[in-house]
């Protein structure tokens, strides 16, 4: 990426993140006095009753940022279509080493415009934020705090013959992850079916179309790639939730993920970024071609609430933490190669399995630098204590 493009991309990322932080901070100042209602209050780690659903502000700000950016892009383009970029050009395809959804694939070039890309990214981001946020909200307000861990929720659901809120969150999160990754990476699912149908030919049309979908006949798409990406999104949400045991920890982890993992790739404009080569996607001044922008609003909103969260005036709860984790996971899979996705999936699975047996809090407290960062900014948990 040219220096000017990198500068514009960095400016766009910073602008959205800062705007999200300011918006969330102002919203808390305005709504903080009316949020303390019975169903939104829960005891924190010290047993004090505080607002436990301030993550609603993160979901609202993150979704609004995605929509606002789409409006900006659409206002800048003339004659742009809306959400039709799943149609792959039959004549254009480029080969990129270790790119796309697999390590050795032909990367499709989409004959599209910036608005279609922006709308797809916005729709996927809103689905991730609202879907995971709603499931987290249900768990925050109706869940049983005595049950922890995915395995425990599934065991309880099996024994009681009912779905616990944790099980609902796991199953619903999986469905939301499948939908948002499909839209973000490969476009409209209906258009995908149409492509498969057109390639299947005549005779036993439905069965041939179904077989074409299952075998991944569309360039750059396969069931394995879709499930892998969806698992990363869902497990990312859960890992951030597992870290949310003391004030600010999940927000600090989300900020580190975004700053150290996504922003550098966006500025470097790696050859395998997004796994696609988008024809005509040259609006670098808005940086929408970088999925790091998708998560910028939610991460910024979390940072905007950090000061009041560290003062233990509220906690985001699963509502905000799950939504932010899902947005980060979605942005990550959109920027990662197939090889990187496999590595990330293995790490996330290992962390989720480890959480069933070991405490992340104990591990953090055992490492001095992590303990210092974990307690930084807290008036109740001094760094060094």
Burial of residue 2, with CB atoms counted within 10 A of its CB: 0-12 exposed, 13-18 middle, 19 or more buried: exposed
Nearest Cα to Cα of residue 351 among 255, 248, 224, 257: 257
Q: What does the pLDDT read at residue 239?
A: 92
H or E element that contains 92 = strand 88-95
Q: What does the pLDDT read at residue 196?
A: 60
| pLDDT tens, residue order, the chain (385 aa) | 566 667 777 888 899 999 999 999 999 999 877 777 777 878 777 777 888 888 999 999 999 998 888 777 666 554 444 333 333 333 233 332 233 333 333 333 334 455 666 678 888 999 999 999 999 898 888 766 555 556 565 566 666 666 666 677 778 888 999 999 988 887 766 666 566 655 555 444 555 555 555 555 455 677 888 899 999 999 999 999 989 888 899 999 999 999 998 998 888 864 333 333 333 444 434 445 578 888 999 999 999 999 999 988 888 989 999 999 999 999 999 888 888 899 999 999 999 888 878 888 888 988 889 888 888 888 877 665 5
Nearest Cα to Cα of residue 132 among 242, 257, 238, 244: 238
| 316 vs 122: CA distance, rounded Å | 23
Q: What does the pLDDT read at residue 346?
A: 96
Q: What does the pLDDT read at residue 208?
A: 52
Residue 306 CB contacts under 8 Å (≥ 6 apart), including other chains: 248, 251, 252, 377
Characterize 358-368 residue by residue with b for buried, 16 or more Cβ atoms within 10 angstroms of its Cβ, and e for exposed: eebbeebeeee
Task: List the beta bridge partners of residue 94.
Answer: 107
Q: How far is CA 33 from the centre of its chain?
A: 29
* Start-to-end CA span in the chain (Å): 45
Site of tokens 């659409």:
74
Q: What does the pLDDT read at residue 31?
A: 84
Site of tokens 């000061």:
307
């Amino acid at each position: 990426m040219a220096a000017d493009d990198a500068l514009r991309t960095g400016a766009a990322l910073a602008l959205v993140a800062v705007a999200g932080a300011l918006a969330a901070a102002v919203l808390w100042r305005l709504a903080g006095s009316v949020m303390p209602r019975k169903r939104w209050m829960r005891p924190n780690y010290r047993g004090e009753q505080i607002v436990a659903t301030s993550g609603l502000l993160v979901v609202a700000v993150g979704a609004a940022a995605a929509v606002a950016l789409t409006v900006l892009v659409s206002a800048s383009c003339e004659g742009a279509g809306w959400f039709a970029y799943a149609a792959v050009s039959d004549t254009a395809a480029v080969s990129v080493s270790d790119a796309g959804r697999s390590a050795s694939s032909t990367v499709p070039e989409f004959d599209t415009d910036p608005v279609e890309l922006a709308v797809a990214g916005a729709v996927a981001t809103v689905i991730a934020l609202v879907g995971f946020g709603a499931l987290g909200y249900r768990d925050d307000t109706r869940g049983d705090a005595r049950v922890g861990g995915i395995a425990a929720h599934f065991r309880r659901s099996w024994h009681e013959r009912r779905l616990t809120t944790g099980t609902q969150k796991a199953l619903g999160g999986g469905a939301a992850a499948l939908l948002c990754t499909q839209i973000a990476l490969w476009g409209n699912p209906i258009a995908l079916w149409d492509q498969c149908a057109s390639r299947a030919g005549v005779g036993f049309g439905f069965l041939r179309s179904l077989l074409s979908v299952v075998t991944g006949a569309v360039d750059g798409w396969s069931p394995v790639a879709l499930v892998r990406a969806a698992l990363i999104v869902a497990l990312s949400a859960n890992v951030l939730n597992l870290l949310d045991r003391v004030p600010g920890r999940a927000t600090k982890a989300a900020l580190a993920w975004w700053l150290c993992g996504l922003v550098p790739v966006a500025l470097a404009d790696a050859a395998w970024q997004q796994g696609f080569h988008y024809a005509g996607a040259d609006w670098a001044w808005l940086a929408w071609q970088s999925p790091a922008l998708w998560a910028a609003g939610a991460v910024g909103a979390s940072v905007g609430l950090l000061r009041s969260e560290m003062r233990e005036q509220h906690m985001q709860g699963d509502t905000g933490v799950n939504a932010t984790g899902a947005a980060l996971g979605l942005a990550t899979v959109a920027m990662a190669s197939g090889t990187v996705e496999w590595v990330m999936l293995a790490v996330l699975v290992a962390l989720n399995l480890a959480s069933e047996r070991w405490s992340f809090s104990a591990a953090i407290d055992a490492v001095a630098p992590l303990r210092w960062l974990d307690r930084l900014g807290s008036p109740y948990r001094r760094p060094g204590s």
